[in-house]
């Protein structure tokens, strides 16, 4: 039996971004002894990178705003495929979560009369994003961290131990969720620094591991985004929902190559920035789709007037939802009207005085100055689409964040699916993290409290199997080849590079049937080779080993994306098919679910070319009539199926 450190907790939260920290705070406040695990240093999660703001209908800048308008915008942005109950809860609860942050010490930018300031963003009818310059995520994490420290100090006063009820395990990676029958019994993981294995036994586990961007070559995402939580859920038997929906943010840096993909925040456009092609044309006016025509300006003059008088003018099309803008940029570049380095121009220099740009967009100013030697107060930026966010994710219950079929397993934040439908509006992630992080923490704590008498037990066979799986890259070092064919071990970095290139080229922003089939064949090949991913050295400080383990997750998740994208024969939100370019009403109420073909989590039982994932369709729950009544009938006709309209 493998020797591993073992500890017992009530709730284990995997991930210390906004969702994980909010879940942990809630679980601890409800009396659960809570452990938080994260791959990076505490406070370094991806959430720190969030720039533009947090969407909440507080109506501080325009009194016309309220949760119903926010709900409507969110459904329009997601092209009505959102899990509507999540969108409802999110719109209703987001303001409370922002005010709560303020009471915990967050310092948001203010309006002239002292209220929390709110800025414009794509797809939001009113200025709605509470922000701290363009460093909102940093303030959010700082505040949640501070709250955790405050709770630990409270615990110290009572128990003499800061970590008695809330402990953070930083620089640790979870590789398996453990189960007792159907029930969650804990997690298996390793310390990244020492390579030591550990088990945290707990009846409730919250997955809050963020996104999947590192499976794509050009991405705004950090190194942590390897789809771990998605894979952990799949391997534990919980399905993923609508994985075809991957958001390509329209504006990433395109030059120099070393920074390609780094995000250029949407606040640039929200604050007045405009997109132009190589002919100097503001091309977005040519790309307003029919479903949005009534809401967007038809001329530059009207669009510009909107910034000062939003009640009597329509918004400029640069503020369309992200999927529309990303496709438009892609089309301009393809038509030969791109910038020198394969993007388009984003200009604020002719729209705002230099000191306003530096005050409102300080990070962007420094980012371009330091990384590209471009002064955005004097010249235009070059930008192009970058893989940014995954709308698909672990299928969850809207109210409780519980996964399907695995009692005790919860998911919140970017790792969870449903909330954003086929396309997320900017700012709706940070609010999602807080609303559903809190809900997940609450329900995980309640679940754990219900298991006090008889806790699920950790199965040593599973622990041994998890340890053997984690150690496999070291035995591939012998050169014998796991498959017994004498082939040499594979380099995990090469495999990762090939995976990223495949997803970028074949399952990227514009998708075609034959390319996705090609991608699935390549993924099958990579999967076989990844079983021979070998590393040198030992378990201490070994990044090659970490990557070899992450590959399992990226390959699983990539297969889900490719399979679901191949299945959905329409274009909707973050899923664009060249061969099925229209949004089809018949697909409006169809969810695609991905599950492991071999429920034991192994791969042996499945032929590699058939893949590891099985895909099923389900019909979405009908949207509640009082929520449908928030929309004009003419608008619903554009989205809903015949049967839904009839009903
Ligand atoms: P994260 O913050 O990524 O946290 C994931 C955590 O899980 C990390 O602690 C990580 O270490 C841990 N983890 C992962 N795998 C494991 C494992 N196997 N074991 C242990 N721990 C693990 N959204 C907005 O709403 N507004 C914005 O302005 C905005 N700006 C953005 C700017 C950029 C550049 C980017 C990339 C995204 C932006 N987003 C924004 C999106 C938003 O930041 C993310 O969707 C959100 O922060 C995700 O939060 P999370 O809590 O789900 O995950």
Sign of the torsion formed by the C-alpha atoms of 580, 581, 584 and 587: positive
pLDDT of 592 strictly over 60: yes
249 is catalytic: yes
CA of 414 to the centre of ligand 1 (A): 7
Q: What is the pLDDT of residue 221?
A: 93
Q: What three-state secondary structure class fits 234? A: helix
pLDDT of 486 strictly over 80: no
Most informative mutation of 210, 414, 437 for ligand 1 (most atoms within 8 A of CB): 210
Q: What three-state secondary structure class fits 616? A: strand
* Kind and range of the H or E run holding 45: none
pLDDT of 609 strictly over 70: no
Q: What are 17-34's pLDDT values in tens digits? A: 999 999 999 999 999 999
Q: What are 496-552's pLDDT values in tens digits? A: 999 999 999 999 999 999 999 999 999 999 999 999 999 999 999 899 999 999 999
Q: What is the pLDDT of residue 481?
A: 46
CA of 38 to the centre of ligand 1 (A): 11
Query: Rounded to whole angstroms, how far apart are CA atoms 582 and 568?
Result: 12
178 close to 52: Cβ distance less than 8 angstroms: no
CA distances from 386 to 136, 213, 312 (A): 20, 9, 34
State how far Cα 309 lies from the chain centre: 34
209 close to 47: Cβ distance less than 8 angstroms: no
**Which residue's CA is minimally distant from atom 4 of ligand 1?**
17
Query: Rounded to whole angstroms, how far apart are CA atoms 241 and 593?
Result: 5
pLDDT of 202 strictly over 60: yes
Phi, psi of 199 (to 5 degrees): -125, 130
Work out the pLDDT band at 434, boundaries 50, 70, 90.
Answer: very high
Q: What are 355-375's pLDDT values in tens digits? A: 999 998 998 999 999 999 999
Query: Rounded to whole angstroms, how far apart are CA atoms 74 and 124?
Result: 8
pLDDT of 453 strictly over 90: no
Which of 500, 527, 546, 532 lies closest to 598, judged by CA? 527
Q: What is the pLDDT of residue 317?
A: 96
Q: What is the pLDDT of residue 2?
A: 67
Calculate mean pLDDT across residues 310-324: 91
Q: What are 380-410's pLDDT values in tens digits? A: 999 999 999 999 999 999 999 999 999 999 9
Kindly give, in sequence order, each residue whose CB lies less than 8 Å from that of residue 369, ignoring residues fewer than 6 positions away. Answer: 375, 376
pLDDT of 450 strictly over 50: yes
Per-residue buried b or exposed e for 239-261, using 16+ beta carbons within 10 Å of the residue's own CB: bbbbbbbbbbbbbbbbbeeeebb
Which of 421, 427, 424 lies closest to 389, judged by CA? 424
Secondary structure of 267-326 as H, E, C letters: HHHHCCCEEECCCCCCHHHHHCCHHHHHHECCCHHHHHHHHHCCCCCCECHHHCCHHHHH
Which of 479, 603, 549 lies closest to 197, judged by CA? 549
The ligand 1 atom nearest the CA atom of 232: 18
Q: DSSP character for 255?
A: S
Which one from 249, 360, 532, 568 is the annotated catalytic residue?
249
CA of 476 to the centre of ligand 1 (A): 32
453 is catalytic: no
CA of 269 to the centre of ligand 1 (A): 22
Which one from 30, 176, 269, 443 is the annotated catalytic residue?
269
**Which residue's CA is minimally distant from atom 12 of ligand 1?**
15
Site residues for ligand 1, CB cut-off 6 Å: 14-20, 37-40, 45-47, 49-54, 136-137, 173-174, 208-210, 220-221, 224, 228, 263, 389, 413-415, 426-430, 433
ipTM (interface predicted TM): 0.99
10 close to 33: Cβ distance less than 8 angstroms: yes
CA of 224 to the centre of ligand 1 (A): 9
pLDDT of 110 strictly over 50: yes
Kindly give, in sequence order, each residue whose CB lies less than 8 Å from that of residue 557, ignoring residues fewer than 6 positions away. Answer: 212, 215, 227, 230, 231, 240, 243
Laid out side by side, the sheet with 129-130 consists of: 54-55, 129-130, 118-119
The ligand 1 atom nearest the CA atom of 38: 21
Calculate mean pLDDT across residues 597-601: 68
Phi, psi of 377 (to 5 degrees): -85, -10
Work out the pLDDT band at 605, boundaries 50, 70, 90.
Answer: very low
Query: Rounded to whole angstroms, how far apart are CA atoms 630 and 358?
Result: 40
Work out the pLDDT band at 608, boundaries 50, 70, 90.
Answer: low
Q: What are 259-292's pLDDT values in tens digits? A: 999 999 888 998 899 999 999 999 999 999 988 8
Q: What are 459-482's pLDDT values in tens digits? A: 999 999 999 999 999 987 544 445
Average pLDDT, the chain: 93
């Amino acid at each position: 039996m493998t020797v591993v450190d073992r500890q017992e907790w009530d709730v284990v939260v995997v991930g210390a971004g906004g969702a994980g920290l909010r879940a942990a705070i809630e679980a601890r406040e409800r009396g659960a002894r809570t452990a938080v695990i994260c791959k990076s240093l505490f406070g370094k999660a991806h959430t720190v990178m969030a720039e533009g703001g947090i969407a909440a209908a507080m109506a501080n800048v325009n009194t016309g705003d309220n949760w119903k308008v926010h709900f409507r915008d969110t459904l329009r942005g997601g092209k009505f495929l959102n899990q509507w109950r999540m969108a409802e809860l999110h719109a209703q609860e987001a303001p409370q979560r922002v005010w709560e942050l303020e009471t915990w010490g967050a310092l948001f930018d203010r309006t002239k009369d002292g209220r929390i300031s709110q800025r414009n963003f794509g797809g939001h009818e009113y200025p709605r994003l509470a922000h701290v310059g363009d460093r909102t995520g940093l303030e959010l994490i700082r505040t949640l961290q501070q709250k955790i420290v405050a709770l630990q100090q409270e615990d110290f006063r009572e128990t003499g131990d800061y970590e008695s009820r809330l402990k953070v395990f930083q620089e640790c990676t979870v590789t398996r969720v453990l189960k007792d029958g159907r029930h969650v019994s804990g997690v298996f993981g390793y310390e990244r620094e020492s390579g030591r294995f550990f088990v945290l036994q707990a009846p409730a586990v919250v997955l809050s591991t963020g996104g999947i961007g590192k499976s794509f070559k050009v991405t705004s995402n950090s190194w942590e985004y390897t789809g771990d939580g998605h894979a952990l859920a799949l391997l534990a038997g919980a399905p993923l929902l609508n994985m075809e929906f991957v958001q390509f943010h329209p504006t990433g840096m395109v030059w120099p190559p070393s920074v390609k993909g780094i995000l250029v925040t949407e606040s640039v456009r929200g604050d007045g920035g405009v997109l132009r092609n190589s002919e100097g044309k503001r091309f977005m006016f040519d790309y307003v789709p029919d479903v949005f025509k009534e809401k967007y300006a038809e001329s530059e003059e009207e669009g510009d007037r909107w910034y000062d008088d939003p009640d009597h003018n329509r918004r400029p099309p640069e503020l369309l939802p992200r999927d529309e803008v990303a496709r438009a940029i892609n089309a301009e570049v393809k038509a030969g009207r791109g910038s020198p380095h394969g993007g388009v121009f984003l200009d604020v220099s002719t729209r705002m005085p230099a000191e306003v740009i530096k005050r409102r967009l300080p990070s962007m100013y420094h980012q371009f100055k330091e990384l590209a030697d471009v002064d955005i107060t004097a010249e235009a930026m070059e930008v192009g689409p970058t893989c940014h966010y995954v709308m698909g994710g672990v299928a969850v219950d809207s109210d409780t964040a519980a996964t399907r079929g695995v009692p005790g397993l919860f998911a919140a934040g970017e790792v969870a699916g449903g909330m954003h439908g086929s396309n997320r509006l900017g700012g709706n992630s940070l609010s999602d993290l807080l609303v559903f992080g809190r809900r997940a923490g609450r329900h995980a704590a309640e679940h754990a409290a219900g298991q006090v008498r008889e806790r699920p037990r950790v199965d040593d066979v599973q622990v041994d199997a998890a340890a053997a799986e984690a150690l496999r890259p070291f035995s591939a070092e012998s050169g014998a080849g796991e498959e017994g064919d004498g082939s040499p071990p594979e380099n995990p970095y090469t495999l990762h590079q090939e995976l990223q290139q495949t997803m970028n080229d074949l399952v990227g922003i514009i998708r075609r049937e034959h390319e996705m089939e090609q991608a699935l064949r390549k993924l099958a090949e990579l999967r076989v080779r990844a079983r021979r991913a070998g590393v040198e050295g030992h378990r201490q400080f070994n990044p090659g080993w970490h990557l070899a383990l992450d590959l399992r997750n990226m390959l699983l998740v990539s297969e889900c994306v490719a399979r679901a994208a191949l299945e959905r024969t329409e274009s909707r939100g973050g899923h664009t098919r060249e061969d099925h370019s229209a949004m089809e009403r018949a697909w409006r109420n169809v969810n695609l679910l991905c599950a492991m073909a071999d429920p034991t989590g192994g791969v042996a039982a499945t032929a590699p070319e058939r893949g590891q994932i099985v895909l099923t369709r389900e019909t979405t729950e009908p949207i509640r009539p009082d929520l449908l009544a928030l929309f004009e009938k003419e608008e619903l006709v554009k989205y809903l199926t015949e049967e839904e309209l009839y009903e």
